[in-house]
Structure 1
Amino acid sequence: PAPHPAEAGPVGRAPLSLLELPPELLVQIFGSLPGTDLPSLARVCTTFRRILRTDTIWRRRCREEYGVCENLRKLEITGVSCRDVYAKLLHRYRHILGLWQPDIGPYGGLLNVVVDGLFIIGWMYLPPHDPHVDDPMRFKPLFRIHLMERKCATVECMYGHKGPHNGHIQIVKKDEFSTKCNQTDHHRMSGGRQEEFRTWLREEWGRTLEDIFHEHMQELILMKFIYTSQYDNCLTYRRIYLPPSSPDDLIKPGLFKGTYGSHGLEIVMLSFHGKKAKGTKITGDPNIPAGQQTVEIDLAHPLQLPDVENLRDFSELSRIVLEVQEQVRREEQEEEHRQEQEDCSQQAASQPSAKPLGGGEGAEGEETAAGAEGTTQDKAPASQPFVLPMGVISRNEDYPRTCRIW
C-alpha cells in the first residue's frame, strides 16, 4: 500500500532521517526518552535543540520520572518552565530523595524526602504518642526546596513556629547530605527556653510536664530536649536502605513501631539473615542508641504457644520459654562437644602415632578428661526465670538472651 502522506518523504518515500519526521512526532519521541539523555540529544543539531525547548517534553519527564502531577499552569504566572523544574529542581536534588537517618547522637530519627507538587520536602517521621503504638505515624516538615521567579532553587528551613526561612543543603557524598539553617533566630520563642521546652514536650510526647510523675522519666525527657535542640536543624543525614523481602519471610521486613518504656515509642527496622532475624534501631535512646541492634530472633525453633486463655498465665509462658532455653543450651553444648571431638581428631591425625609405655598414663589421661568434662558441665549457665509479676517495671527484668518467632 502507498505510504501515508504524513509518513512519506519529500518524493513519497519513507523518511531516511529523524529530521524528515514532523516536529510533533519528534516531540513524542523525545518525550519518551530519559531526561538525562536529552542534553546530549540537543547537541546533535539546531533542529533538535529547538524542539527540545518544547515544554510538553519536560512536563512528561517531570510526571514519569518524579510523579509531578501538579497543574503546571501555576508556572506560567511565575515564568518558570517545566524544563527549569526538571533541570534546576528535580534533577539537581534527585540524590536526596528517599529515607534518611539524621546523626543526632543516640536518638537518631527518620526523614523521608519526597517530591510534593512543585516542592521537594523533607518530612521528619515521628512515632505516635506513647502508649498508642497502633496509631499512625506523625510527621512534620524540616525543610523544603522550590523554584522562585528568579529561576533558581531556593532552600528553606521549616523548623520552629515562625514559618519558612533561609536554609542551605549540601550533598556531602554518596548517601550523605547535610542541612543548615541560616536564620536560627526563627527557632526561638518569646517565652525563652521554658516555652520552647513545653512546646516541644507537647509535640513530642503529647503531654505536659505536670502529667509526668516518674522522676526518672522526667530526667530522660529533659536530657533529650537539651541534646536535640542544640542542633537547630543543622544536621547530617545518612541514607537508609530497607532490607530485601522474600516470599519465605514470616513477616514482611521493614520499619516497625515499638514501645521502650520510659523512652516512649521508637522505630525499629526488622531484617532477616538466614536463621536469624534482627531488629535495628532507627530512633534510639541512651540505653540502646540509634543504629544499634535491639533484638535478635532465633528462627530455628519456633515457640508453640498455648491457647488464648493460657496466654494470660505468666507461669505457663515462663515454663514454655524455660523449656526452649534449656533446649538451646543442650544444642549449644552438643555443638561444642562435637567441635571439640573434631578438633581432637584433626590434631591426632596430624601427629605421629606412638605407643604408651605404661597403662598408668592412659588412665591418668582418662581421669583428667573426665574431670575436665565434669568442670565444663558444672560451669554451664543456669536458666534464668522468665517471670513478669504484676507491677514490676519490665526494664528491671532479666530477660532470656534468645527469643523465638512463632
Structure 2
Amino acid sequence: MVINIVDLPENVLLSILQLCNVRDLTALSVVCSLFYRLTKDSFLWRHLCFRDFSVSPESCEKSSYEKIYKNVLHKYGCMLGLYQSQIGPYGGLLEIRFQNGYIEGAVWEPTSDVMEPLKESVAFSINGNEVPAKCLCIPHIHPHKCSLQMNKRKGIVTQFCSDNEGHIRTLCDMDGDVTGNLFNYISMKLVYLNEVISTGLIHKPLILPGPDDIPSALRRKDGSFPKQIITPGLFKGTYSVHGIEVLLFRYKDEYEIHGHKVTGDVNVHASKVSVKILLKYPAYPTEKNSIAAMKTTEPKSSETPLDQIPEHPFSIPSGCYYEATTPLPTRCTARYHGFGQIAYEGFRRPSFTPVQVIVFNNDLLGVVWIELTAFSLFSRVQRTFTKNILNTAESCL
C-alpha cells in the first residue's frame, strides 16, 4: 500500500521538517495548506534558531522565532561570535551576540583593577523586531545608522558608520573626565578609531582555545593535566603606564605557551606575542630573592615531569617594581623561564627579553620582567562568550 506523505501524522511531518533548510521550508510552504501551516509552527522555528545559530529560546523570549530567523538571523546570524577589532596598535575585544530580539556588538574592556571583571558597552545593535532590520551605532548613547558586511570565507566583519564625526564626538564626551596617561591613551585610540571607521572598522574572528587544545603530550597517564600548567584562554594583565591589557594564552606546542595581545599599546601592538613561557625550563627561587640574582641565573632545560615540580614560596624580588594593590599569593605551583617582548614606540626595534613566569594557579599568573625590573599580574577572564558560528574561519591569533 502506498502512503502519501501528507497522510503521515503531523508530529512525524514536523520531525522531517526539522531536517530541512530554510530554502526547502519556503518551497514546501506553497505546496498545500497543511505544509503552509506546519512551516509556520513556532517550535519548528525555535528548533531552527538553535540548530543553525545556537540561539537559545530564552534569548528571544516573547518573539516570533520565524520572524527573528527570517528578519535578522538569516542575514546577520553568521556574525555571532568573538572578534578582535582592528583599531591601530590598540585592538579591541568584541562579542557579537543575540538576545531579546537584537544582535548586539558588545565591546569588553578592562577596568583599572586586574582582578575585576571586564566592563561592557554596546557598540552597535541590529533590531530584529523591525522589518527590515535596522543597524545602529552606539544605540544606547548616540544612536545613528551603520551597516555591517561579512566575508564568510574569512569570517571578517566590517562595520561602516554613517555619522563618523558624531560617533567620535560622543566617545570623546564619554571620556572627557579622565586625565593623565589614561586620557592620552583614550585620545590616541580615538584618533585610530576615527581613521578606520571612516573606511570601515574591521573585526577579525577570535576563536578561543580550551582544555582540548592542550597538547596531549602534557597529559598524565590517567588523562588529567598537571596543575603546573594552565588552561589556555583570555587573561587580563598589568602593563605599567599602558594600563591593563587583554591577552590570549595558547599552546604553541608541548614546550611553549605564548601570550598574544588581543589589546595592545603604542609600544607592543595588538596581535603581537607579549610573553613566551618555556615549559622545559623550570625556574626556582634564588638564595637572594632579588632581580640582581635573577640576572645571573642561567636557564637550564629539564626532563623532570611537570607534575613533579614542587610548590615553593613566592614574594616580589627586591628591586622589582609592582604598582598594583592586589595582594599576591605567598606560594606558587611552578615557575618557568621565558621571554617577554619589548619595543620602542611604534613597535620599533622589538626584542625579547628574559622573564620568569610564576604560575600561582590555573587562573592567576605573574611575570617578572628581569631587565625592566617590573612585575605584571595576569588574571583569567571569567566569562563565557558567544561561540563563533563560522567554525571554518581562521582565528586572527
Shorter-chain TM-score tier: 0.5 to 0.7
For 1:38 and 1:61, locate their aligned partners in 2 and report how far apart those are by CA, in whole Å. Answer: 13
2:246 matches 1:267:
yes
Preserved CA contact (<8 Å) 1:299 1:405: no
Q: 1:401 aligns with which of 338, 354, 364?
A: 354
Does residue 289 of the first structure (1) align with residue 269 of the second (2)? yes
Distance 1:22 1:41, change over 3 A: farther
Corresponding residue of 2:147: 168
Q: For the structure 1 residues 166 and 221, does the alpha-carbon distance in structure 2 shift closer, same or farther, using more than 3 Å as the test?
A: closer
Match of 1:243 in 2: 209
**Larger of the two Rg values belongs to structure:** 1
Kept in 2: contact 1:68–1:117 (CA 8 A): no
Q: 1:391 Cα deviation (Å)?
A: 6.3
Q: Secondary structure at the match of 1:39?
A: helix
Within the candidate set 119, 127, 149, 2:102 is matched to 119
1:160 and 1:188 in contact (8 A); partners too: no
From the two aligned structures, give the one with the greater strand fraction.
2
Q: Secondary structure of the equivalent of 1:301? A: strand
402 and 259 in structure 1: CA distance in 2 versus 1, 3 angstrom threshold: closer
The 1:31/1:165 distance shift into structure 2, 3 A limit, reads farther
Q: Do 2:45 and 2:66's aligned partners in 1 also have CA atoms closer than 8 Å?
A: yes
Per-residue displacement from partner, 1:90-149 (whole Å, max 9, x unpaired)? 1221221101111111011110001112111010110112xx100010010011112345
How much does 1:226 deviate? 3.0
Q: CA deviation at 1:152?
A: 1.9
Give the partner amino acid of 2:204. R
- Cα distance in 2 for partners of 1:403, 1:201 equals 38
**Unpaired runs of at least 5, structure 1:** 1-12, 76-80, 190-194, 203-207, 332-385
> Quick one: distance in 2 between partners of 1:87 and 1:95?
13
In the alignment, what sits opposite 1:179? 159
Question: Is the 1:302–1:404 contact (alpha carbons within 8 Å) kept by the matching residues of 2?
Answer: no
Match of 2:7 among 6, 20, 24: 20
Instruction: Provide the C-alpha distance between the structure 2 equivalents of 1:290 and 1:284, rounded to a whole number of angstroms.
Output: 4
Do the aligned partners of residues 391 and 188 (structure 1) sit closer, same or farther apart at CA in structure 2, a change above 3 Å counting? closer
Tell me if structure 1 keeps the 8 A contact 2:90–2:269.
Answer: yes
Does the alignment pair 1:68 with 2:49?
Answer: no
Retained in 1: the 8 A contact 2:157–2:203?
yes
Corresponding position: 1:223 with 2:188: yes
Q: Give the Cα–Cα distance (whole angstroms) in 1 for the partners of residues 196 and 353 of structure 2.
A: 38
Is 1:144 the counterpart of 2:125 in the alignment?
yes
TM-score w.r.t. the length of structure 1 is: 0.63
Unaligned runs of 5+ in 2: 215-223, 304-315, 325-341, 344-350, 360-397
- The 1:118–1:218 alpha-carbon spacing in structure 2 relative to 1, beyond 3 Å, is closer
Could you tell me which residue of structure 2 aligns to residue 83 of structure 1? 66
Q: Structure 2 CA distance, aligned partners of 1:173 and 1:255?
A: 25
Classify 1:87/1:322 alpha carbon distance in 2 versus 1 (closer, same or farther; 3 Å). farther
Q: Distance in 2 between matches of 1:24 and 1:232?
A: 50
Q: Of 69, 77, 91, which residue of structure 2 is paired with 1:108?
A: 91
> Quick check: 1:63–1:69 contact (8 Å CA) kept in 2?
no
RMSD: 3.8
Cα distance in 2 for residues equivalent to 1:30 and 1:16: 16
Distance 2:267 2:103 in 1: 35
**Percentage of matched positions with identical amino acids:** 25
Structure 2 letter corresponding to 1:42? L
RCO higher in 1 or 2 (8 Å CA, sep ≥ 6)?
A: 2
Partners of 1:52 and 1:118 in 2: CA distance: 21
SS at match of 2:150: strand
The answer on whether the counterparts of 1:34 and 1:61 sit within 8 Å (CA) in structure 2 is: no
Q: Deviations over 1:279-318 (max 9, x none)?
A: 1000001111001111111100222347xxx9xx642x65
Q: Are the counterparts in 2 of residues 145 and 154 from structure 1 also a CA contact under 8 Å?
A: yes
Q: CA deviation at 1:177?
A: 1.5
- For 1:45 and 1:387, the matched residues in 2 are separated by 77
Equivalent in 3, 11, 19 of residue 33 of structure 1: 19
Distance in 1, matches of 2:12 and 2:172, equals 61
Q: State whether residues 114 and 120 of structure 1, in contact with CA within 8 Å, keep that contact through their aligned partners in structure 2.
A: yes
- 1:405 is displaced (CA, Å) by 5.4
The residue aligned with 1:58 is 45
Kindly indicate whether the alpha-carbon contact (under 8 Å) linking 1:258 and 1:266 is maintained by their aligned counterparts in 2. yes
